[in-house]
């Protein structure tokens, strides 16, 4: 998928259509839409004349409890910022975006929902199809490992297959990662037969073959507000520097774009300063653990 180019006017109309509406009027699904069910489903990001050097980008949004505010903000403003800033700044070419709704693999009816990879306004159309189940299990973690498994086992992306360039995968939420993916959950969610349970670290190794993996900790979330040190410790233990701290959920898109820029070799301080004043502070906070750019690293080696 992803054979059509992004059009800013289409986005302006889609964004304007959300004004004055409640979240429930934007995300109208009363259950998991069949088109977003990952059960025995594959997703493809393929080159096309409109997007000849596609790059796959997955953004998985926690939709449990109060975390539906993240998807709401993306549908109103964030998605346009995400695509248009990537097209303008060009950290990667021809972005193909896939959105995920993340729930709880133990308790929710829709533990994972996945859109197609798209490059045009259909990204927004499919984002709004996600069911904001607002569930979760009260177990201090959500299914952040589910997009990892799906990306590793059920996506085919030309950026990797043709050019040996990894895609990007961001999960977003306020809780800790789970310890494992049960074989029973793989069967019910994906239709896959596993011989044993897989640890989250094994899943990370599997998905990292094809994707750069990041997690965005939403500091405004209820769980993170009360347990931030524990949340950060678990994520840093798993992902190291690729943990991003988001202190303003409305600036998620800018943080994702900035993380891609820094991962592609740009200086993190320069990237943070490239945004307007308030956004710059949010981005700088999020990038605090990211590596410095090559130029800054070289300066640090010079003794005066």
Confidence (pLDDT) at 77: 95
Task: Specify the pairing of strand 198-199 against strand 112-114.
Answer: unpaired
Cα 87 to its chain centre, rounded Å, is 17
pLDDT at 296 (0 to 100): 46
Q: What is the value of pTM for the model shown?
A: 0.94
**What pLDDT sits at residue 2?**
58
Structure tokens at 139: 């177990």
The pLDDT value given to residue 1: 58
Residues in the chain: 304
List, for the chain, all residue ranges whose pLDDT scores fall below the cut of 70. Answer: 1-3, 137-140, 292-304
| pLDDT single digits (tens) 49-85 | 999 999 999 999 999 988 889 999 999 999 999 999 9
Give the 3-state secondary structure of residue 171. strand
**pLDDT score of 3:** 64
Tokens standing for residue 79: 């998605």
Domains of the chain: 8-241 (3.40.50)
Q: Kindly state the DSSP code that residue 141 receives in the 8-state scheme.
A: B
Q: pLDDT (tens digit, 9 = 90+) per residue, 131-143?
A: 999 887 666 688 9
Find residue 165's DSSP bridge partners.
none
Q: Could you tell me which residues are beta bridge partners of residue 169?
A: 58, 213
């Amino acid at each position: 998928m992803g054979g059509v180019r992004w059009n800013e006017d289409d986005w302006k109309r889609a964004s304007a259509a959300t004004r004055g509406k409640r979240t429930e009027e934007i995300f109208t699904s009363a259950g998991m839409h069949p088109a977003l069910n990952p059960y025995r489903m594959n997703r493809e990001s393929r080159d096309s004349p409109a997007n000849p050097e596609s790059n796959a980008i997955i953004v998985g949004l926690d939709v449990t409890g109060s975390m539906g505010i993240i998807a709401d903000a993306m549908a109103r403003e964030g998605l346009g910022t995400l695509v248009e800033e990537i097209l303008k700044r060009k950290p990667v070419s021809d972005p193909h975006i896939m959105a995920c709704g993340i729930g709880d693999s133990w308790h929710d009816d829709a533990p994972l929902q996945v859109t197609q990879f798209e490059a045009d306004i259909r990204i927004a159309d499919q984002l709004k199809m996600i069911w904001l189940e607002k569930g979760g299990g009260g177990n201090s973690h959500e299914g952040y490992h589910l997009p990892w498994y799906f990306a590793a086992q059920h996506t085919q992306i030309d950026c990797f297959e043709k050019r040996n360039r990894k895609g990007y995968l961001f999960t977003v939420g306020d809780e800790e990662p789970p310890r494992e993916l049960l074989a029973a959950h793989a069967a019910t969610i994906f239709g896959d037969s596993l011989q044993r349970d897989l640890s989250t670290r094994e899943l990370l190794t599997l998905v990292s073959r094809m994707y750069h993996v990041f997690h965005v900790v939403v500091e405004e979330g209820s769980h993170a507000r009360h347990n931030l040190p524990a949340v950060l410790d678990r994520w840093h233990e798993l992902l190291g520097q690729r943990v991003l701290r988001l202190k303003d959920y409305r600036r998620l898109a800018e943080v994702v774009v900035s993380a891609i820029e820094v991962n592609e070799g740009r200086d993190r301080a320069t990237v943070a300063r490239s945004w307007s004043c308030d956004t710059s502070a949010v981005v700088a906070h999020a990038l605090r653990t990211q590596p410095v750019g090559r130029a800054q690293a070289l300066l640090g080696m010079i003794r005066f």
